[in-house]
Chains A and B, each alone.
Chain A
Amino acid sequence: MFEIVNVLKTGIFEPNKENFAFIDSLKIMLRGMLTIFFVTAILIAFVLILNRYSKKKKEKEERIQEKEMENESY
């Protein structure tokens, strides 16, 4: 598995450092855009998780507040 990944990586993504040519720039384009979208996807996931956590926390706090108010009114 590791070997396949390694071959794929060096074959598709690894540019020729000595004789950099057009085809190498295309490899970097592919690698670059995929990496940027990958990083972006992780960031989006993190923000969505954080937003959901914050929302739940806020709802919980509101519920506690409501309960306290109900108790006070009794």
Chain B
Amino acid sequence: MGFFETIGEAARTFIEGNWMNAIMWVIGGILIYLAIKKEMEPTLLLPIGFGAILVNLPGSTIANDGQIIKLLYDIGIANEFFPLVLFIGIGAMIDFGPVLTNPKLMLFGAAAQFGIFFTLSMATLLGFTGLEAASISIIGAADGPTSIVVARELLGSESKLFGPIVVAAYSYMALVPIIQRPVVKLITTRKERLIRMEYKQKDVSKTTRILFPIIITAIVGFVAPDGLPLIGCLMFGNLIRECGVLNSISETAQKVLANLITIFLGISIAATMKAEAFLHPKTLLVLGLGLVAFIFDTVGGVFFAKFINLFAKKKVNPMIGACGISAFPMSARVIHKMGQEEDNQNFLLMHAIGANVSGQIASVVAGGLILSIFMQFPR
């Protein structure tokens, strides 16, 4: 046997034995490409992509019991520690000012959760069980930590669907500019996209800023008590920000804490991306349904804005409805840019940010609600 034949034979044997791993390397490579080249959620997609390659190298034991990735996974994801702590950081980053100035924008946040429930129905039609369908539908919350918490509570972190759900949630969040733009263009007319919205700068009192997170926590705790860890951590972070006496802690939560947890979260998600656990037909369905969730979130928000326009004296640009999803600030940026492309004097940014921030609240409420309903289901 010649040299090249030997090499060819070895390559063939290697590919035959590792083709599933090879697919995971490609997936990891795509995530890294999106993170670096397209700058889409690089803080998460880069560690997830690198981790996907790392755990699928031939003979890799890095995600086995007692090894670093499995340790991080057990410490931070299997018990929801990372996503909840990350929520404190996210809460500290959010400025609810635009919503408090114009609270009606919160309605768009509510409407844009439609994708969650639509996907729940679609997943049920496709034969998923109630718990599986609910866990998949939460991808539509467009919020990584919420997806992790809900899917883990309902399915358990050992479920084969857990990895695909988390990866889909983060990947689609990164792909918001690519997903939302064509959907919004398809369901709005140019005349609608040209609608200008007046923005009046108003002062929001410190009392309002401080009471807002407390009130939200109390209300959500009352309506969906299983969602309390999610909303509690988010609003605790926001209270740290707004109270005015914990500035250094607020800064730490926004920067050091959030960055640190994000690094660990991203790399430990890779523990769910072992080829034998990740590559199964249901993964494709989960990815497809995740896309459906994002599309119908957008559709829900836009059509609700159109519905409001039937009665409102001051018309709303329907594109603002699309910002009701939780993917902050990508969604607001996309819509502002789309508005400017139609009319460079149309400044939708503040309205878009208001709706986008509302989406963060509404997605957590939706997550809590899904938990409260489905936690009563038999396992």
Contacts and interface: CB of A to CB of B under 8 A. Distances in A.
A21 interface: yes
A38 B224 CA distance: 12
A15 B130 contact: yes
Contacts of B110: 33, 36-37, 39-40
Contact of A57 (B125, B205, B362): B205
Given A21-B124, A35-B369, A44-B104, A54 B117 contact: no
A40 B133 CA distance: 25
A58 interface: yes
B260 interface: no
A33 B207 contact: no
**Chain A interface residue count: which class?**
20 to 34
Contacts of B358: 40
Interface string A8-50: 0000000101101110111011011101111110111011101
B289 to A, nearest CB: 12
A46 B107 CA distance: 14
Interface residues of B, number: 46
A54 to B, nearest CB: 4
A50 B206 CA distance: 10
A17 B120 contact: no
Contacts of A50: 100, 205, 207-208, 211-212
B377 A44 contact: no
Interface string B30-59: 000000000000000000000000000000
Contact of A17 (B116, B118, B378): B378
Contact of A40 (B215, B224, B362, B373): B362
Given A28-B117, A29-B121, A32-B370, A43 B208 contact: no
Contacts of A17: 130, 376-378
Given A17-B130, A29-B118, A43-B215, A58 B377 contact: no
Contacts of B114: 33
A33 B113 contact: yes
B366 A32 contact: yes
A65 interface: no
Interface in B183-216: 202-205, 207-208, 211-212, 215-216
Interface string B301-313: 0000000000000
Contacts of A22: 121, 124-125
A47 B361 CA distance: 14
A42 B361 CA distance: 13
A43 B214 CA distance: 11
A22 to B, nearest CB: 5
Contacts of B361: 43
Contacts of A31: 373
A25 B128 CA distance: 11
Contacts of B203: 58
B11 interface: no
Contacts of B164: none
Interface string B361-379: 1100110011001001110
Interface string B259-284: 00000000000000000000000000
B103 interface: yes
Given A18-B378, A28-B373, A40-B109, 10 more contacts: A17-B376, A20-B377, A25-B120, A32-B113, A33-B110, A40-B358, A43-B361, A46-B212, A50-B211, A51-B202
